[in-house]
Amino acid sequence: MRVDGNRLVVHGEGAAVDRALAVVQRMLDAAVNGAQVTPDDVALASSDVIRGRNHTTLPETLYRSQRGREIRPKTAGQRSFVDSIDKHTLTFGIGPAGTGKTFLAVVMAVRALRARTVSRIILSRPAVEAGEKLGFLPGDLREKVDPYLRPLYDSLGELLEDSVVERYLERGVIEVAPLAYMRGRTLSEAFVILDEAQNATRDQLKMFLTRLGAGSKMIVNGDITQIDLLGGATSGLLEVPRRFGGIADIGIVELNETDVVRHPLVARIIRAYAADPQP
């Protein structure tokens, strides 16, 4: 493939040329429609064409960040995750680190809030430490749980100005709380996200799921390869595919290393651990 003036010249084996032209055409169509085409878009288009999805267009822009960046699914797995959130009241996102589960969940929540389809966003996760003890944490509830909920705050910071996030937190439009504080509540007209759900026991996950109220959506994310529960406790996320598979209005999306959108080395690290899980 080379550029010759205002022409793009593609040469090679016939089938390969056809695939390359299909990718180029999708990028051209997207650019004509005003999209900011990125290398991730090219990679997704290539993956689709290889799998015979030549008809698939560039995924729609979900949200435009405060810096003007267009946010949309970058992999086929991410596209399935977003589609499931759109179609189902409850979606489980199960997959390794770096697959965009948390970020896309927060994007969809902010999008729903801005569209006024929900009146608030509730972000939660189990207060379980990943291998090291933080000890006593000073301050009020929010200051105590901040270290556990930092990834969710980081995602919000990508989408909204700090002053807007702070205002929403003060007014209760955005609420962050550890999983233990969900007991006894009914979460209505809310977009509810449980992150790091692999560290929720079966009983905790049941408690959380049954908080779902009218007019709400719920996303439960986790990575079953990073369970930090102690004392022989079993993660409730492990039984999700068996227990909830096939139930109407529940989506279960399993992501893998092909959906990793962090540094390319992250996918190879994940494969290395998967190949030899023993310490």
Asked if residues 228 and 201 have their Cβ atoms less than 8 Å apart, the reply is no
3-state DSSP percent of the chain in helix, strand and coil, to 5: 45, 15, 40
Q: Would you state the pLDDT for residue 133? A: 44
For helices 101-114 and 141-159, give the axis angle rounded to 10 degrees: 80
DSSP helix/strand/coil, 224: coil
CATH superfamily of 70-275: P-loop containing nucleotide triphosphate hydrolases (3.40.50.300)
Beta-strand relationship, 174-178 and 63-64: unpaired
Q: Would you state the pLDDT for residue 134? A: 42
Q: How confident is the model over 161-197, as pLDDT tens digits?
A: 989 999 998 999 999 888 888 888 999 999 999 999 9
Asked if residues 245 and 88 have their Cβ atoms less than 8 Å apart, the reply is no
DSSP characters for 154-220?
A: HHHHHHS-HHHHHHHHHHTSEEEEEGGGGTT--B-SEEEEE-SGGGSBHHHHHHHHTTB-TT-EEEE
Q: Domain-by-domain residue ranges, the chain?
A: 2-58, 70-275
Asked if residues 261 and 72 have their Cβ atoms less than 8 Å apart, the reply is no
3-class secondary structure per residue, 35-97 = CCCCHHHHHHHHHHHHCCCCCCCCCCCCEECCCCCEECCCCHHHHHHHHHHHHCCEEEEECCC
What does pTM read for this prediction?
0.78
DSSP helix/strand/coil, 105: helix
> What is d(CA 207, CA 138) in angstroms, rounded to the nearest whole number?
28
> What is d(CA 253, CA 251) in angstroms, rounded to the nearest whole number?
6
pLDDT in tens, the chain (279 residues): 666 666 777 777 777 777 777 777 776 776 666 667 767 677 767 776 776 666 566 677 888 877 778 888 888 899 999 999 999 999 999 999 889 999 999 999 999 999 999 999 999 988 764 444 444 555 555 565 666 677 788 888 889 998 999 999 899 999 988 888 888 899 999 999 999 999 999 999 999 999 999 999 999 999 998 888 877 789 999 999 999 998 999 999 999 888 887 666 766 776 777 777 665
**Across all residues in the chain, what is the average pLDDT?**
82
Q: How confident is the model over 24-47, as pLDDT tens digits?
A: 777 677 666 666 776 767 776 777
